[in-house]
Amino acid sequence: MGEEAAHLVDDDYDGLDSSMVALGGEDERVMEWEAGLPGSDELTPLSQPLVPPGLAAAFRIPPEPGRTLLDVHRASAATVSRLRRASSHSHSYDGGCFPPYDEQAPPPPPPPDSAAANGSSSKRPRLVWTPQLHKRFVDVVAHLGIKNAVPKTIMQLMNVEGLTRENVASHLQKYRLYVKRMRGLSFSNSNDASPSDHIFASTPVPHSLIVHDHPHPQPLPPPQQVPTPTPPPPPGPATAYMYHHRRVPMPMVPTGAYPQYHHHRGHADQ
């Protein structure tokens, strides 16, 4: 057991000095970068496709998604923030322990106004929680502690481009169920991973999350000694998540390390 350093941080920003790191705000422009570049009057307007419609049609090129100003602004903001993290990592999170991470970068979200009119990106692709991403999620949650591990904070500390609060909230919800489920079925036993949860099983649940400090622990501390053969008072009101766990052949844990999104092929029935 010694394979921790499996970080695949793909950094292609090299040769960057602190010469342009004087960024104070989020929307500041770096003039050095603009020197020598064509002016706005020489550039193709964002509203115009790079490939003329006629040409595109002739070559069966699908119409490219219209980029809007907001799309560009987001992309450029992302770039700037990445560069800032790259050159000045003077940040201290909760103890200064989370390396910069830029694996997941879901495409630009839907800028309400222009996207609709343009028919461009209005639906962000379904995020795939890779073991890597989940690992980071777990790390952050563990370092935050149960009490502070809320979607927004987790999202911020994970520092993953494009990751939304909804993404995290949804994942967190499922993860909590998994943990709860997990601590009932094993304690000192190596009983791991129901195949249904292969994502969650990919990263061991930190003890800090298993053992909680508030008084409401063990599954069944019923010290009641009623002589009455009372049948088990079943289902409480809030315990209905009886997921079906099927037995499956093999826990497949592929090393899908990279950002993936589920594309869909036309299907109108289900």
Partner DNA sequence: GGGCAAATAT
Partner DNA sequence: CATATTTGCC
* 130 close to 257: Cβ distance less than 8 angstroms: yes
> Which residues are paired to 261 by β-bridges?
127
Smallest gap from Cβ 202 to DNA, in A, equals 10
* 83/181 with CB nearer DNA: 181
Least distance CB 152 / DNA (angstroms) = 3
Minimum CB distance to DNA smaller for 71 or for 197: 197
Closest CA to 161 of 214, 87, 82: 82
Measured from the CB atom, is 101 or 129 closer to DNA?
129
Least separation in angstroms between residue 260's CB and DNA is 10
- Residue with Cβ nearer DNA (60 or 264): 264
CA distance 216 to 25: 46
Closest approach, Cβ 177 to DNA, in A, equals 6
Closer residue to DNA, CB minimum distance, 80 or 149: 149
Site of interaction with DNA (CB under 7 A): 123-124, 126-129, 149-153, 165-167, 169-174, 176-177, 196-199, 238, 240-241, 246, 248, 262-264, 270
Q: How far is the CB of 55 from DNA (least distance, A)?
A: 31
CA angle (110 as vertex; 37, 84 as ends), nearest 5: 50
Question: Would you say 13 or 261 has its CB closer to DNA?
Answer: 261
Cβ 134 to DNA shortest distance, Å:
8
